[in-house]
Amino acid sequence: MSKISVGVLGATGMVGQTYVSLLSNHPWFEVKYVAASPRSAGKSYAQAIAGRQHLDGSAAAKNGIGSDTGIAGNVGKLIVEDANDLSKAIDAQKAGCCDFVFSALEMTKDQIKALEEAYAAAGIPVVSNASAHRWTADVAMLIAEVNPHHTDLIPIQRKNHGWDKGFIVVKPNCSIQSYTTPLWALMQKGYEIKRLVVSTMQAVSGAGYPGVPSWDMIDNIVPYIGGEEEKSETEPLKIFGSINQEGVLVNAAEPKISAHCNRVPVSDGHTACVSLEFGTKKPSIEEVKKIWTEFKALPQEEHFPSAPQRPIIVREEADRPQPRKDRDADKAMAVVVGRIRPCTVFDLRFTGLSHNTIRGAAGGGILSAELLKYKGFI
């Protein structure tokens, strides 16, 4: 099977580099177009990221990025284009080098929103990591195991805008990944979740690069991340929502979520401590563990390349999950849960962990693209 040609917008940034790394040996997709800011345009990709590579040594060596024999492998030879110059992407598409793009743009929200719409209007589908379109009514915010049916918004979006082949889908905030899929698994088994309180401990990589100053993070916890609590409290409701007969996505009314978001001195891996309240039907602790252990969804059933075999991994140890020990579980795409126990205020407590730059960012975007290919949108 010939591979689908992929472009990466914002390819020189932290998330963009992760996309290039994860796609280096992908069986379906191949990076043939890279774009970034005007200051990187005209350079080879290897030159553009020289001295500011964000992957650790093992990941870099594994994927040929930053190795002694050549930065970024074959992608290193590509010339970086200006992401603002849409004509370059259109020319690449005509040449068979840009069938769709992953957007890892680092601009203002309004700039990203306008630029992603311009790509979609030009017939280039956009799979975005940015938050700019998360609350656009006809844009699906995807977790492939939870709401693959929200891709039904794509024909509606195209009709609304008069677009032919282009469209936009987004991935949600990285911090909600560590508990949204476990909640969904319980909901799918008929257990209504009324309310939950979640406290997240979020890795510094979630702040991007250069991120939080080291003087603020070493020997410290920062109990505030701008906008993060609002995203944590609202984005799951869109993900759990349903499309009505008029083609409008209606957000779920529950669960009511109260979030506390903290930045902690961990490199990668967002941890969430969750207490939740069920409706009238309440599962036992053993039933909860069984549901999570057995949970599989479309990406597992159809064996998508980036899908974890076990989307939820249950740990029985009293002190797990831990970021350093568990963030890379099952291709760093699994949610690892533990400390599953009764709650003295609500009904159930647990701790969830997911890798924020892989499952919560580039890996999650790639899995969404695999879903879109499976459904025939790309």
Active-site residue set: 174, 270
Strand spans (E) along the chain: 4-9, 29-36, 81-82, 100-103, 126-128, 140-141, 168-170, 193-202, 242-243, 249-250, 256-263, 270-278, 312-314, 335-342, 348-354
Contacts of 313 (CB under 8 A, 6+ apart): 326, 329, 330, 334, 335, 336, 337
d(CA 271, CA 279): 25
Reduce the DSSP state of residue 259 to 3 states and report it: strand
For Cα atoms 61, 66, 71, give the angle at the middle one, nearest 5 degrees: 120
Tokens of 312: 């939820």
With tokens 């069920």, the residue in question is: 278
Nearest by Cα to 230 from 307, 176, 303, 299: 176
Contacts of 210 (CB under 8 A, 6+ apart): none
| CA 44 vs CA 20, 39, 56, 223: distances in Å | 14, 12, 21, 40
How does DSSP classify residue 252? P
Sign of CA dihedral 151, 152, 154, 157: negative
User: DSSP secondary structure string, 128-183?
Assistant: E-SSTTTT-TTSEE--TTT-GGGGGHHHHHHHHHT-SS--EEE---GGGHHHHHHH
Reduce the DSSP state of residue 322 to 3 states and report it: coil
Helices and strands in the chain: count of H runs, count of E runs = 14, 15
With tokens 């603020």, the residue in question is: 216
